[in-house]
Amino acid sequence: MGDKGSFLLPDAASTLAGEVDALFWFVTWTSAIIFAAVIVAKVYFMARYRRKDDTEVPEPVKESKWLEATWIVVPTILVLIVFTWGFDVFVKLNTAPPDSYQITVRGGQWTWEFQYDEGASSFTEMYVPVGRPIKLNMSSSDVLHSFFVPAFRIKHDVIPDRYTSVWFEATKLGEYQIFCTEYCGTEHSTMLAKVVVVSEEDFATWLAENSTDLPPAELGQQLFAQCAVCHSVDGSAGIGPSLQGLAGSDRALADGSTVLANDDYLRQSILDPASQVAEGFQPIMPAGYAGMSAKQIDGLIAYIKTLE
Amino acid sequence: MTESPTGTVNYLNHDKSIKSWLLTLDHKRIGIMYLIAVSLAFLAGGVLAMLVRVELMAPEEILMGADAYNQTFTLHAVLMIFAFIIPAVPAVMGNFALPIQIGAKDVAFPRLNLASFYIYLIGAVVALSALLVGRVDGGWTFYTPYSTSIGDGILFITLGVFIMGFSSILTGLNFIVTVHKMRAPGMTWNRLPLFIWSIYSTAIVQVLATPVIGITVLLLFLEKVLQIGIFDPALGGDPVLFQHFFWFYSHPAVYVMILPAFGIVSDLMGTFSRHRVSGYRFVALSSVAIAFLGCLVWGHHMFVSGQSAVSSVIFSLLTFLIGIPTGVKVINWVSTMYRGSVQLKTPMLYAISFLFLFSIGGFTGIMLGVLAIDIHLHDTYFVVAHFHYVMMGGNVIAALGGLHYWWPKMTGKDFNEPLGKIAAVLVFLGFNMTFIPQFIMGIQGMPRRYYTYLPEFQSYHLWSTYGSWVLAAGLFLIAGYLLHSLFKGKKAGLNTWGALTLEWTHTTTPPDHHNFHELPVVRRGAYDYHLARHLFENGSEVSEVAHASE
C-alpha cells in the first residue's frame, strides 16, 4: 500500500486503519459484484425482450416464491455480516486502552489547541509518539467542531461544554492531516492542523522543550486551595464530600440515583453544584465557580484525577 | 359524445382567465401551478449549484469569498430540499395524476388543496426573504449552537420551513383521504397503480413526521428570540438534542423524497415493459412499511455526534433492515422486464437510468450504515455524493421520467422524442461525471462544506465541475424542447405510451375539466395487460374513450 495509500483510501497509519480498510473493501467488492449482476441482468432484459411488434402483449410471468425468498434472505445475511463486522471494529475504535497517553484537545473558531499534562501546548501541530495508544479528550470553546484524521480513520464531534474522546495508535512516523468536519463558520475550511508522529525519544525531547506552562494538574492543585475549605483529599468528611478516589467511581446522589463520576460529571459539579448533590450532603456549595476558564476547569479535573 | 377523442374543451381551455387559474379548485391546474413554482425553485437551486461548482475549481477565490460561498451552498440546499424535492413529485404529479388514476373527479378537499399551494408559496417567500435580512450559512441542517449564533436570517429561513411544512402536511392529509374514500367502483387496493401506493405512503410520512420539524424550528425560534435554553449549551441547552429532533424529521423526509420516485419508476417499468410489475404486492406494502419504519433510523446520521454507542449500534442495525426491502424493489423493477415487451422511449430511459443511479445511492448508503466505515466517511464528500445519488439520481431522475411520461397528457402536446433521448443520456453522463469524483475525494478525506481545500483534491473538483456543465446542458435542453412543444408540439394522442392506468385509458387529452365524462368502472389491475389484449389488437390507440366513441 505504501505511503500514498491504496487505490481509493488514503494512507493508513494507525493500528485500526487496516481493520477499517478490510471491512471497507469487503463491502465495496460485495456491492460491486451485486451491482454488476443487476446491471447485466437489466441490459440483457432490455435487449432480449425489446418490443418487436406494437400489438404484442406478453403473458404474465408466474412469480417464483423460491426466487423471491432468495433475494430477501441472501442480502439479509450479507448485511448482518457487515453489521456485525462493523460493530466489532466500531467497539475497538471506541475503546481506548486504559494505559493510553492522554492529550487535551480544544476546538475553537478556527484553531485546534493541544494541551499536554506535562505543561506543553501547541496549536498547529499535535506531537505524538509512535507505537503508543493516544487518547484525546476533546471539547469546544464555542460551536460544534469535528476532529478528523483520515490516515487514522478516526472522527468525532467536538461539543461545547461536554467532553468527547477518540483514540488511536500511530504505526508510522510522519505528518498526518487533521480536518474540522463539522461546519463552524467562515474559516471552517482552514481549521486544519497536523498530527506529527515522532519516536519516543523525539517526543520526550519535544515535551521537555515545550513544557513551559504549568502542567494542568499543578494548576488544579493551586486552584484547589479554595476548594480545600470544604473538600478534603484524604477521605475524611468535611462540609462537602472528600474527593479522594472520586474520579472514575460510581457516585451515589442525594436523589437516590447513581452516576459515573467521569469528566463531564466533575465539570458539571464545579459549574452547577446543585444539579447533582452527593448522597448525605446538603446543596450548599456556591455556584460562583461558573466563571472559571476552561483551562482552569481542566486543571481542577486533572488534579482531582490524581487523588487516588 | 360530440367531442373528438382528443377533446376540444378541456381543463386547460374551458376558462382562460387569470382568475380562473389563481382561484382554481381543479387538482390538475393546481398541479400545473406547482409545476411552475417548483421548476423555478429547481432553476434557482441549480444556478446556485453551478456557482458552487465553479468556485470549487480552485482552492483560491474565483467568484466569491468564503462567506458568500458558505451562504450559496446553504441556500442551494434549502431551496432544493424544502422548495423543490419535497413538494416536487407529490404536489406536481400527485396532484395531477392521483385523482384520475383512482377514478375520482378531484381530491377529497379541493379548497384545502389550493390552500396548500398558497401556504407553500408564502413559506418559500418567507424563507427567501432571509436573504434580505442577513447571513444564513452552515447548510440546511442548521446545527446548534452555530445556527443560533449567527444573525436573524436564520429566523426567516426556519419560519419559511415551518410554513412550508403545513403545506406538506395538508397535501398528505388530502391524499390519504382521497385514496381511502374516492376510488372508483372496482378500484380495489390490489388494482391501484403503484404510483398511488407510493404517494399514499409518502402522505403518511408527511403527516407523521413533518410536525416534528415544525416543533423543532419553533423551539429554535423561541430559543433565539426569548433566550430559552433548549439547544444552546451557553443557555443550558443540549446541542445534540437538536440533531435528534432535526433528523427525527429529516430522515423520514428522505422517504418523502424517494418514495414517490419508487411509484413513478414502478409505473414506467410496467408501462414500457407492458407487463405486470414483478412483486406488485411486495412493492406496494413495503412502501407503507418503509413509511413507518423510516421514522426509526434517524440516529444513523449521528454516529460521530456524541450520541451513545448503544444507540448507534441499534440505529445501524435498523438501517440495514430497512435497506433490504428497498434492494428487493430494485430487483423487482429489473425483473419486470423479464419476458416483457420493452420499449425504450424517453420516460423509460429515465427509469433505466434511475435503476443504475439509485442502486449506487443504495450501496453507498449501506457503506455509510456500517458503523466503523461511517466514522471515516461521515461529513466528507462521500456523503455529498451518496445523497445526490439518492436525491437527484433517485428522485429527480424519476421525476424527469414522470414529467416526460405525463407531459403529453398534461399539456396535450408531444415533445421531441429524439431530443428527449439525447437529453436523458446527457443528464445520465453529466450526473455521473459530477458525482463519481466526489465519492473518490470523499474516501480520501475531503470534508464537505469546505470553501478552500488542499491542492491534492483539485483534479477531482475540476472533473466534478466539468460534469456539472454536461448535466446542466442536458437539463437546459429538456427545458428548451418542453417549452417549444407547448407552442409547436404535435397534438398528443389519447394514450401516448399504451399505459393501462385510467388517466390514459379513460380520459381525453388533455383531460376534461371534471376528468371523466362518465364514472369509470375498473375491471382489471393497473398492469394487467394480458386482460386488456383486445385494446392492443388493431395497433391503434389504446383507449376506452376511443372505443366508446367509435
Among the ranges given (A286-300, B42-56, B75-89), the one the predictor scored with the smallest mean pLDDT: A286-300
Beta carbons of B396 and B85 less than 8 angstroms apart:
yes
Chain B contact for A65 (CB, 8 A cutoff): no
Residues of B in contact with A267 (CB under 8 A): none
The HSE-up count of residue B119 (CA atoms within 13 Å, CB side) is 20
Span B68-89, average pLDDT? 93
> Which cell goes with A7?
487505490
Q: Where do the structural domains in chain A lie, given as residue ranges?
A: 17-94, 101-210, 216-306
Give me the phi and psi of A255, to 5 degrees please: -85, 5
Among the ranges given (A15-19, B133-137, B415-419), the one the predictor scored with the smallest mean pLDDT: B133-137
Instruction: Pick the more confident residue, B550 or B21.
Output: B21
pLDDT of A2 strictly over 80? no
pLDDT of residue B9: 85
Contact B331 A38 (CB under 8 A): yes
pLDDT of B81 strictly over 90? yes
Helix extents (H) in chain A: 17-48, 65-94, 200-210, 216-223, 263-271, 294-306
The string over B397-424, giving b where at least 16 C-beta atoms fall within 10 Å of a residue's C-beta and e elsewhere, is bbbbbbbbbbbbbbbbbbbbeebbebbb
pLDDT of B2 strictly over 70? no
Domain A17-94 fold: Helix Hairpins (1.10.287)
Mean of pLDDT over chain A: 89
Chain A contact for B444 (CB, 8 A cutoff): yes
The string over A243-255, giving b where at least 16 C-beta atoms fall within 10 Å of a residue's C-beta and e elsewhere, is bbebbeeebeeee
pLDDT of residue B415: 96
Span A106-131, average pLDDT? 92
Span B223-239, average pLDDT? 86
pLDDT of residue B351: 97
Residues A216-306: name the CATH superfamily. Cytochrome c-like domain (1.10.760.10)
Residues A101-210: name the CATH superfamily. Cupredoxins -  blue copper proteins (2.60.40.420)
Q: Where residue B61 falls among pLDDT bands split at 50, 70, 90?
A: very high
pLDDT of B354 strictly over 60? yes
pLDDT of residue B43: 97
Chain B contact for A66 (CB, 8 A cutoff): no
pLDDT of B366 strictly over 90? yes
Q: Compute the distance between CA of residue B119 and CA of residue B161 in angstroms, rounded to an integer.
A: 11
Span B52-65, average pLDDT? 95
Please identify which residue in the block is written with the cell numbers 386488456. B532
Chain B contact for A39 (CB, 8 A cutoff): yes
Q: Which of B140, B207, B363 is nearest to A39 (CA)?
A: B363
Q: Which of B181, B26, B31 is nearest to B106 (CA)?
A: B26
B102-121 pLDDT, tens digit each: 999 999 999 999 999 999 99
Give me the phi and psi of B510, to 5 degrees please: -65, 165
Mean of pLDDT over chain B: 92
Chain B contact for A144 (CB, 8 A cutoff): yes
Among the ranges given (A236-240, A288-292, B413-417), the one the predictor scored with the smallest mean pLDDT: A288-292
pLDDT of A4 strictly over 60? no
Span B28-51, average pLDDT? 96
The HSE-up count of residue B209 (CA atoms within 13 Å, CB side) is 30
pLDDT of B215 strictly over 80? yes
Classify residue A277 by its DSSP letter. P
Contact A189 B449 (CB under 8 A): yes
Q: Which of residues 322-361 of B touch A (CB under 8 A)?
A: 323-324, 327-328, 330-331, 334-335, 337-344, 352, 355-356, 359-360
Span A166-184, average pLDDT? 96
Q: Which of residues 300-319 of B touch A (CB under 8 A)?
A: 304-306, 309, 312-313, 316-317
Smallest Cα distance from A79 to chain B, Å: 6
Q: Where residue A269 falls among pLDDT bands split at 50, 70, 90?
A: confident
| Surface-to-core class of residue A47, CB atoms within 10 Å of its CB (0-12 exposed, 13-18 middle, 19+ buried) | exposed
pLDDT of A5 strictly over 60? no
Q: Compute the distance between CA of residue B381 and CA of residue A8 in angstroms, rounded to an integer.
A: 13
The HSE-up count of residue B439 (CA atoms within 13 Å, CB side) is 20
pLDDT of residue B550: 40
Contact A87 B371 (CB under 8 A): yes
Which of B331, B378, B440 has the CB atom closest to A8's CB atom? B440
Q: How many CB atoms lie within 10 A of CB B292?
A: 14
Residues of B in contact with A143 (CB under 8 A): 145-146, 149
B183-214 pLDDT, tens digit each: 999 999 999 999 999 999 999 999 998 998 88
Contact A87 B316 (CB under 8 A): yes
Span A281-297, average pLDDT? 79
Q: What chain A residue is nearest to B498 in terms of C-alpha separation?
A: A54
Contact A181 B538 (CB under 8 A): no
In sequence order, which residues have a C-beta less than 8 Å from that of residue B217 and are 6 or more positions away?
B158, B159, B161, B162
The arrangement of secondary structure in B18-549, i.e. its CATH architecture, is Up-down Bundle (1.20)
pLDDT of A220 strictly over 90? no
Q: Compute the distance between CA of residue B545 and CA of residue B400 in angstroms, rounded to an integer.
A: 27
Among the ranges given (A83-97, A227-241, B473-487), the one the predictor scored with the smallest mean pLDDT: A227-241
pTM: 0.90
In sequence order, which residues have a C-beta less than 8 Å from that of residue B451 and are 6 or more positions away?
A188, A189, B55, B66, B69, B70
Which of A87, A94, A179 has the CB atom closest to B447's CB atom? A179
Among the ranges given (A62-76, A288-302, B59-73, B450-464), the one the predictor scored with the smallest mean pLDDT: A288-302
pLDDT of residue B331: 93
Which long-range contacts (C-beta less than 8 Å, at least 24 apart) are formed by A281-285? Answer: A281/A240, A281/A241, A281/A254, A283/A254, A284/A239, A285/A230, A285/A240
In sequence order, which residues have a C-beta less than 8 Å from that of residue B132 and are 6 or more positions away?
none
Beta carbons of B30 and B408 less than 8 angstroms apart:
no
> Which cell goes with B534?
383486445
The CA-atom distances, in angstroms, between B166 and each of B115, B124, B161, B204, B207 are 10, 12, 9, 14, 9
Number of inter-chain CB pairs under 8 A, A vs B: 248
Residues of B in contact with A90 (CB under 8 A): 309, 312-313, 371-372, 375
Span B462-477, average pLDDT? 97
> Which cell goes with B175?
391524499
Q: What chain B residue is nearest to A148 in terms of C-alpha separation?
A: B376
- Cross-strand pairs, A165: A137
Q: Where residue A273 falls among pLDDT bands split at 50, 70, 90?
A: confident
pLDDT of residue A183: 95
Bond into B145 cis (ω within 30) = yes
pLDDT of B439 strictly over 80? yes
